[in-house]
Amino acid sequence: MKNIFSKLNLCWIVFTTIVLTVITLLMQGNVITAYYQATLFTIGINIILAVSLNLIIGITGQFSLGHAGFMCIGAYSCAVVTLRNPTMLGFLLGVLIGALISSLVALVVAIPTLRLKGDYLAIATLGFSEIVRIVVLNMKVTNGAAGLFGIPKLTTWPLLVACVIISILIVLNFSRSAPGRACISIREDEIASEAMGINTTKYKTIAFVIGAVLASLAGALYASNFYVIKPDLFTWAKSVDVLIFVVFAVICVDLANHTAKNVISTDVSRTTYYFAKLLLTWGLGIAIIAISTYLGYFGNIIFNAPSHYSSFLDITIIMLRQLPIFCGIMSVLVMIAAITQKTSRYNAIAIVLVMVSQMLLMTIITVFNIDGSIIMQFEFETILRDMAVIGQIEIKTLLTGIGLIIASSMIGVTYFKRCNIK
């Protein structure tokens, strides 16, 4: 209890309260427009998805690609109930039904599949996700491929914030409990855990079920916010998207924990370590984006689905032209990890930087009546969107990416060389 109410935690509580209050006031004053409000809601839902998947992958060390299936169950359960009872009570009932179904399905799936490891587990959970989507696609109550329309908007900003906080607290408390420590031991060395008498299947199943219930909650919030849901919203690509969120959240963590201290205690210089970490982050980030993009492209070809790209060459050229801005963003993330040296702080700042940068810039421009036309041209969300058209803004992308890389590397290395590694 003493640790919970420490000065640091109280400061974070006060800071979070102030930020949420300011955002609420800006929403009520229409300073944050409907478009950016939708962006904020999407961010909140994605945070719940990322936190729940991190429980499975980050804490327990199990590579799952079935998260979209549980999100689908929660979304359709809530949508079916609220269409018949468009009240907050109906919403809560839908959430409970979705959580119950998700937990039962997760239990049935987990017992056989969690005995698998690595790629085999990923394939098994991916297959489960597709089974859920196909079942929904062929059910009368879900309206098949047409999906459900006119879902009551019952997801409010206070409700979303409360769900995000509760989800984070659940995962945080679980990770610090006895079952959570057992899951961490499984992640570190499953064979050693079994030798110590830990029932690895039991604890992996517990983590999997909790993650499934939270993913179901995210699906319910999604359905009650965006009015429309269809089966093609919950394909395997959605699971990959959530996986990317988790990877980028933890990709720089060893700059914010004991790993850096252990490595630097050897003959490796801090500068070398920093740039090695930077290059590794670039490689992993580019690999993840490339794999997910190409899988989506070939998946559209196999299933004869519409595609935004006319050819394999087109998509390759676009990705190559986006590399500078991608590397620039990842360089900034590495810098933040080096400065904060706290995983929670790093994740919070990274989310704000990457996901709401455009909204924050637009808010500042609106409040202070600034001509932001030039500034917004170099904002990375704008650049990435414009890059969907082949041949556009290569110079802008190059300059922005190089500028971010140089500036963040100089700041990050300078601070990392002088700071005390905790």
Answer with the residue of higher pLDDT: 23 or 340: 23
Same domain for 53 and 199, yes or no, is: yes
H-type alpha helices, 55-87: 67-84
Same domain for 212 and 67, yes or no, is: yes
Same domain for 291 and 351, yes or no, is: yes
Is 221 inside a domain boundary?
yes
Which residue, of 177, 198, 232, is where some domain finishes? 232
Same domain for 360 and 350, yes or no, is: yes
| pLDDT the model gives residue 72 | 92
- Residue 379 CB-density burial (10 A; 0-12 exposed, 13-18 middle, 19+ buried): middle
Is 297 inside a domain boundary?
yes
* CA-CA-CA-CA torsion sign (54, 55, 61, 67): negative
Q: Which residues fall within 8 angstroms of residue 388, CB to CB, at 6 or more apart?
A: 308, 318
pLDDT band at 68, cuts 50/70/90?
A: confident
CA angle 139, 308, 359 (to 5 degrees): 90
Same domain for 279 and 324, yes or no, is: yes
Mean pLDDT of 160-189: 86
Here the tokens at position 145 are 């491929």
Which residue, of 232, 264, 291, is where some domain finishes? 232
DSSP 3-state of 148: strand
Same domain for 18 and 37, yes or no, is: no
| pLDDT the model gives residue 91 | 93
Same domain for 279 and 354, yes or no, is: yes
Same domain for 3 and 52, yes or no, is: no
Largest interatomic CA distance in the chain: 66
Mean pLDDT of 162-186: 87
Report the half-sphere exposure of 72 (CA within 13 A, side-chain side): 28
In whole angstroms, give the CA distance from residue 383 to residue 400: 9
Same domain for 293 and 204, yes or no, is: no
Is 316 inside a domain boundary?
yes
Here the tokens at position 128 are 């489960």
DSSP 3-state of 308: coil
Q: Is the pLDDT of residue 378 over 60?
A: no
Q: In the predicted model, what is the mean pLDDT of the chain?
A: 77
Q: Is the pLDDT of residue 345 over 80?
A: no
H-type alpha helices, 251-356: 258-264, 270-302, 312-340, 343-355
* CA-CA-CA-CA torsion sign (190, 195, 198, 201): positive
Same domain for 185 and 258, yes or no, is: no
| pLDDT the model gives residue 373 | 58
| pLDDT the model gives residue 99 | 92
Which residue, of 232, 267, 296, is where some domain finishes? 232
Same domain for 187 and 333, yes or no, is: no
Crossing angle between the packed helical segments 157-176 and 200-226, to the nearest 10 degrees: 170
DSSP 3-state of 229: strand
The total of structural domains in the chain comes to 3
Answer with the residue of higher pLDDT: 292 or 91: 91
Note down the domain range covering 205. Answer: 31-232
Q: Which residues fall within 8 angstroms of residue 261, CB to CB, at 6 or more apart?
A: 421, 422
Is 71 inside a domain boundary?
yes
Same domain for 161 and 58, yes or no, is: yes
Is 5 inside a domain boundary?
yes
Least confidently predicted of 93-102, 372-381, 395-404: 372-381
Q: Please tell me which of 44-48, 98-102, 404-408 the model is most confident about, judged by mean pLDDT.
A: 98-102
pLDDT in tens, 209-257: 999 999 999 999 999 988 889 888 887 767 777 776 676 666 555 555 5
Cβ atoms 358, 382 nearer than 8 A = yes
Is 313 inside a domain boundary?
yes
Is 243 inside a domain boundary?
no
Q: Is the pLDDT of residue 1 over 50?
A: no
Answer with the residue of higher pLDDT: 259 or 45: 45
| pLDDT the model gives residue 79 | 92
Mean pLDDT of 39-43: 82
Q: Which residues fall within 8 angstroms of residue 164, CB to CB, at 6 or more apart?
A: 44, 47, 48
Prediction pTM value: 0.73
Cβ atoms 101, 73 nearer than 8 A = yes
Is 238 inside a domain boundary?
no
Q: Is the pLDDT of residue 126 over 90?
A: no
* CA-CA-CA-CA torsion sign (408, 414, 418, 421): positive
Q: Is the pLDDT of residue 412 over 90?
A: no
| pLDDT the model gives residue 247 | 66
